[in-house]
């Protein structure tokens, strides 16, 4: 199945009141695991590559081209998304490489500057038929730059979405990035009010800190795109540790990265089912 436009995945899910999993790629095993999990679930998925991951690899292109190739070879619909980009140049590179969507994060800027910067990105991306997500109301925990406890105001969200012409909006409703426990308390009433106020799909960041029950409730309340990263990284790393503890003399990375990849694939399959209401 060819690489899928992000809107072809998000649009039907929003119309059906179901959620879509968007999982972060750190290395090629993550991309392979996420796509395998989607194939096993028989559901679409979004591969996300963050600006931090591009920096880790020294450039966007190597991990991006690998992820795009894996997406194009999949039997499930797969979109490839640039996550938390603060650099306009990185957004432009992602568009050139063939990403189907970008998340431009100008949330650290004052409100009016956020609007202006985001609108410039939206105009550029829409000329290339690339879908754009932005953020309003800082989501806690992102490199210490985002303030915990912030909540997105529905009226401000309506104005922001209209002024920027974005295709989706990430909102602050109680989740926090990089949580190692799944005990975040979401403001479900606020999610419902945001859904009524904003005429674009809503995105939940920091979903690793949300348990299955509340993920499902968030989707029912109005979330469509659900970002999960740390939860899968914990599982990947735990599996590697277990394999190395069992075989401390192992030298071949495939002997421990392969089982970690398989564990993540199985968890992606399960999480996609939770988000789809199965």
Question: Annotated active-site positions, please?
Answer: 83
Rounded CA-CA distance 114/109 in Å is 5
Query: Taking the alpha carbons of 182, 261, 59, 271 in that order, is the dihedral positive or negative?
Result: negative
Q: How many CA atoms lie within 13 A of 215 on its CB side?
A: 25
Query: What are the DSSP calls for 29-71, one per residue?
Result: HHHHHHHHHHHHHT--EEEEEEHHHHHHHTSSHHHHHHHHHHH
Q: CA 25: distance to chain centroid?
A: 10
Q: Which residues pair with 24 in a beta bridge?
A: 48
Give the pair of three-digit tokens for residue 250.
Answer: 């192992």
Give the pair of three-digit tokens for residue 263.
Answer: 């564990």
Burial of 155 (0-12, 13-18, 19+ CB in 10 A): exposed
Query: What are the DSSP calls for 73-100, one per residue?
Result: T-SS-EEEEEEEE--HHHHHHHHHHT-S
Among residues 245, 276, 278, the alpha carbon closest in space to that of 17 is found at 276
Q: How many CA atoms lie within 13 A of 11 on its CB side?
A: 7
């Amino acid at each position: 199945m060819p690489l899928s436009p992000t809107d072809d995945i998000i649009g039907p899910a929003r119309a059906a009141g179901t959620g879509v999993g968007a999982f972060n790629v750190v290395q090629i095993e993550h991309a392979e695991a996420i796509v395998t999990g989607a194939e096993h679930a028989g559901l679409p998925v979004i591969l996300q590559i963050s600006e931090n991951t591009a920096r880790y690899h020294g450039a966007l292109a190597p991990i991006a081209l690998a992820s795009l190739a894996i997406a194009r070879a999949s039997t499930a619909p797969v979109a490839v998304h640039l996550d938390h980009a603060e650099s306009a140049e990185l957004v432009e590179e992602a568009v050139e490489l063939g990403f189907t969507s970008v998340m431009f994060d100008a949330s650290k800027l004052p409100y009016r500057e956020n609007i202006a910067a985001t609108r410039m990105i939206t105009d550029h991306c829409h000329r290339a038929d690339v879908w754009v997500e932005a953020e309003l109301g800082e989501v806690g925990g992102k490199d210490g730059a985002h303030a915990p406890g912030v909540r997105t105001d529905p009226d401000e969200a309506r104005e922001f979405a209209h002024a920027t012409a974005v295709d989706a909006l990430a909102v602050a409703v109680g989740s926090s990035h990089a949580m190692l426990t799944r005990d975040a308390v979401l403001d479900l009433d606020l999610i419902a009010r945001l859904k009524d106020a904003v005429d674009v799909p809503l995105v939940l960041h920091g979903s690793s800190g949300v348990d299955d029950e509340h993920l499902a409730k968030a989707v029912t309340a109005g979330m469509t795109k659900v970002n999960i990263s740390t939860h899968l990284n914990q599982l990947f790393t735990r599996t590697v540790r277990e394999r190395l503890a069992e075989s401390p003399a192992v030298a071949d990375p495939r002997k421990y990265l392969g089982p970690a990849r398989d564990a993540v694939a199985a968890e992606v399959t399960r999480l996609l089912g939770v988000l789809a209401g199965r």
